[in-house]
Structure 1
Amino acid sequence: MANRRNLKKNVNYISDLVAGLCIVESMNAKEENREAISQLFLQIVNLRRDIISRISHTEPGSVKVFYKKLKSDFNTEVEAIFKKLEELGK
């Protein structure tokens, strides 16, 4: 139980960090990029909600495979958001 709690805390921390970066970038961005950055903000909020719900409802049986897939899904989504933020920041 403590490991799931720590995993949820880590997901919250990373998603809060990315959301904060979205807010900072939107303040410094051009007018035409602000809508795209707000979409990225919504994307990270939805990703956080999805990952937390998946952690709360672990599939019985193949727990190790479930958490490996969860980790890889979260990492790929966060990396994609960072890449989009970098593109919009240029």
Structure 2
Amino acid sequence: MNPNKRKVKFNINIMSNKRELKKAIRNICADLFAECASATYYSAKEQKENGEVLLTSIVEMNENFICRVSHPEPGMPAKAYYKDLIAEFNKQASAIIDQISTIA
């Protein structure tokens, strides 16, 4: 494993309720957006377009996961659904962090 590449795991517990899960997703996406915006602002001109695309993907990720929290898939046990949702969110957020580090 590359020592420069860290695995990031966000502190989202299996949800106590939907409101808390949505709040955690919004806060993490807001932090990612702020970090990406500052990295884009201080980056070279070639990287600004990549940063703008990444900002758009952060907003889309936020909307997608908030919508998925509100409308779970029918037929799947709730606990398994939300556990999978959180794992997928962590994976996408870690990928975005890696992309932000390439911009900076």
1:71 to 86, 95, 98: 86
Paired amino acid for 1:41: L
2:42 maps to 28
* TM-score normalised to structure 1 length: 0.92
1:80 maps to 95
Take 1:72 and 1:18, find their aligned partners in 2: how far apart are those partners? 17
Paired amino acid for 1:83: D
Structure 1 residue 19 corresponds to structure 2 residue 33: yes
Displacement of 1:20: 0.5
| Contact 2:33/2:55 (8 A) holds in 1 | yes
Q: Which ranges in structure 2 are unaligned for 5 or more consecutive residues?
A: 1-15
1:33-72 mapped onto 2 (5 Å cutoff): 33-60=47-74, 61-72=76-87
Displacement of 1:59: 2.5
Aligned length: 88
Take 1:24 and 1:88, find their aligned partners in 2: how far apart are those partners? 10
Q: Which has the higher helix share?
A: 1
RMSD of aligned residue pairs (Cα, Å): 1.1
Percent identity reads 30
Q: Which ranges in structure 1 are unaligned for 5 or more consecutive residues?
A: none
Displacement of 1:68: 1.0
